[in-house]
Amino acid sequence: MNRLLGFAVGLGITLIGVVLMVVLILQPTAKDVPLFIVLVATPLVVAIVAALIGQRWAWWRRFHRLAVALFIVYAIGAGLIVLTMFVTTQLMFFSAHDATLATVIVIYATGVTLVFGYFVVSSLTDSIGKLTLAAQAVQRGDLTIQADERGSDEVATLARTFNAMTAQLAQARDKEQQLDQARRDWIAWVSHDLRTPLTSIRARAEALTDGVVTQPHEVAAYLSAMRNDTFAFSSLIDDLSELAKIDAGGLKLDRMLIPAADLVSDCIESMQVLANDKGVALTGEVAPDAGSVNVSPQHIQRVLNNLIGNALAHTRAGGSVHVAARREGATVRIEVRDSGEGIAPQDLPHVFERFYRGEPSRKRSANGKGGGMGLGLVIAKELVEAHGGRIGIASRAGEGTTVWFTL
């Protein structure tokens, strides 16, 4: 509808302009008016009829090449000019020679115009054809193809948009391939981490059942090792269950106001036995102005347990793990700082990625704590962000690690 309206407005402006020029410049007499009406009305009627037919049946879209359709449109326009010129020469009573000469000149000029127009249109449609070939290449899976971006018209803009699209598709495909490979590795790691404690438990249970181990101290050692393997197995199952719940959108936060000091002290108390077993000093400090936080206690305790467990797993005997909380504006910042082995620079940017597993920092320790599948930090990040907080990490290899989050 807008196209037809624009067409009508254009014809109206053209008609008004011609009438004004005829009246003001030529100043026709009364007997010349019918002639001018015929000359003006003929191309106008032909143009209107052709436009309506084209709008109704879109005949110019039925050709296999846009250049041919545009050439025919130009030919129709040129035909209107020739027809108008022929009628004019006949009605103006030129001599036969002059009328023929004028007609030949107009036909010649029209032919040159058509050839020139076809040349220009062909150049334009060639660009569209190249863009089509590029799109077909993308359809076959070739995302390295680049369309010709030269020019400033709509086709050039389309080509630039096309190239930007293929670049984004290539990035998405590369990322998908990386994620697919990471998932495969992740499944292999899950299988390994599940199989390892189960195999250990089975071997020790068979040894106890078959009477291979009978001395009380040996039996106690075997039972203790089986308990640790059970912790490892249970910890991994808990991690996978928590992650599945987060992915499924089933995470429910029962928030309540709780003093930051209680969160820190409860987690330190629960992890103190493990710290003592490892010979690591576990301490805490809460600033007087830390106040309370509006959180789901069990989930934030899970975050702290993961972070403290990681810190203990990678801190040698005689080292220290320190938990601190302080207020920063409207938030409370809690950090877990250890004097452990630190994280390699190439691993540090990826520690919160779900499928990343650096070495050796992602190996699960024998007591069931530690990196394992690398899910501890991932789950901590998901839980903190579910509370609207932020989490970050700083580390230097051989000098320890600090993980912090805000609530």
Whether the CA torsion 346, 351, 357, 359 is positive or negative: it is positive
Total number of domains constituting the chain: 2
Please identify, among 85, 111, 139, the residue that sits at the C-terminal boundary of a domain.
139
Q: How far is CA 17 from the centre of its chain?
A: 53
| Average confidence (pLDDT) over 303-312 | 90
Separation between Cα atoms, residue 251 and residue 300, nearest integer Å: 13
Question: 64: pLDDT confidence band, cut at 50, 70 and 90?
Answer: low
Q: Coil, strand or helix: which one is 249?
A: coil
Of residues 179, 197, 271, 190, the one with CA closest to residue 234: 197
Distances (CA, A) of 25 to 11, 17, 37, 81: 21, 12, 16, 21
Q: Which of 73-82, 151-160, 398-407 has the highest mean pLDDT?
A: 398-407
Q: Specify the pLDDT at position 363.
A: 45
pLDDT over 70 percentage in the chain: 79
Please identify, among 102, 123, 139, the residue that sits at the C-terminal boundary of a domain.
139
Please identify, among 75, 106, 139, the residue that sits at the C-terminal boundary of a domain.
139
| Average confidence (pLDDT) over 251-271 | 90
Q: Read out DSSP for 268-325?
A: HHHHHHHHHHHT-EEEEEE-TT--EEEE-HHHHHHHHHHHHHHHHHTS-TT-EEEEEE
Question: 95: pLDDT confidence band, cut at 50, 70 and 90?
Answer: low
Strands 391-396 and 281-286: unpaired
Q: Which domain holds residue 284?
A: 253-406
Of residues 147, 158, 192, 225, the one with CA closest to residue 372: 192
- Residue 188 in any domain: the answer is no
Distances (CA, A) of 161 to 75, 129, 141, 170, 175: 33, 16, 18, 14, 21
- Residue 303 in any domain: the answer is yes
Q: Specify the pLDDT at position 224.
A: 84
- Residue 233 in any domain: the answer is no
Q: Coil, strand or helix: which one is 155?
A: helix
Amino acid occupying residue 138: V
- Residue 319 in any domain: the answer is yes
Q: Specify the pLDDT at position 109.
A: 66
Q: What confidence tens digit (pLDDT) does each residue in 204-230 have?
A: 898 888 888 888 888 888 888 888 788
108 CB contacts (<8 Å, ≥6 apart)?
none
Same-domain check for residues 134 and 262: no
Give me the chain's average pLDDT, please: 80
Same-domain check for residues 270 and 402: yes
Of residues 274, 278, 262, 299, the one with CA closest to residue 382: 299
- Residue 34 in any domain: the answer is yes
Helix, strand and coil content of the chain, in percent to the nearest 5, comes to 65, 10, 25
Q: What confidence tens digit (pLDDT) does each residue in 2-14 have?
A: 666 777 787 788 7
First to last CA, the chain: 57
Which of 44-53, 164-173, 227-236, 301-310 shows the lowest mean pLDDT across its residues? 44-53
More confident: 259 or 26: 259
Separation between Cα atoms, residue 352 and residue 376, nearest integer Å: 9
Question: 365: pLDDT confidence band, cut at 50, 70 and 90?
Answer: very low
Q: Would you say residue 361 has pLDDT above 80?
A: no
Q: Which of 35-49, 221-235, 274-288 has the highest mean pLDDT?
A: 274-288
Q: Which H helix or E strand runs over 96?
A: helix 96-139
Q: What confidence tens digit (pLDDT) does each residue in 367-386 have?
A: 444 444 467 888 899 899 99
The torsion defined by the Cα of 20, 26, 32 and 37, in degrees rounded to 10, comes to -30
Question: 47: pLDDT confidence band, cut at 50, 70 and 90?
Answer: confident
Q: Specify the pLDDT at position 251.
A: 77
Q: Specify the pLDDT at position 367.
A: 41
Q: Which of 171-185, 187-201, 290-304 has the highest mean pLDDT?
A: 290-304
Amino acid occupying residue 245: K
Q: Coil, strand or helix: which one is 357?
A: coil
Q: Would you say residue 108 has pLDDT above 70?
A: no
Same-domain check for residues 270 and 401: yes
Same-domain check for residues 265 and 402: yes
Same-domain check for residues 267 and 399: yes
Q: Specify the pLDDT at position 257.
A: 93
Separation between Cα atoms, residue 157 and residue 165, nearest integer Å: 12
- Residue 230 in any domain: the answer is no
Q: Coil, strand or helix: which one is 403?
A: strand
More confident: 384 or 189: 384
Give the pTM.
Answer: 0.52
Q: Which H helix or E strand runs over 177?
A: helix 154-209
Q: Supply the CATH number for residue 262's domain.
A: 3.30.565.10
Q: Are 362 and 376 in contact (CB under 8 A)?
A: no
Q: Specify the pLDDT at position 15.
A: 78
- Residue 292 in any domain: the answer is yes
- Residue 243 in any domain: the answer is no
Same-domain check for residues 125 and 261: no
Same-domain check for residues 401 and 271: yes
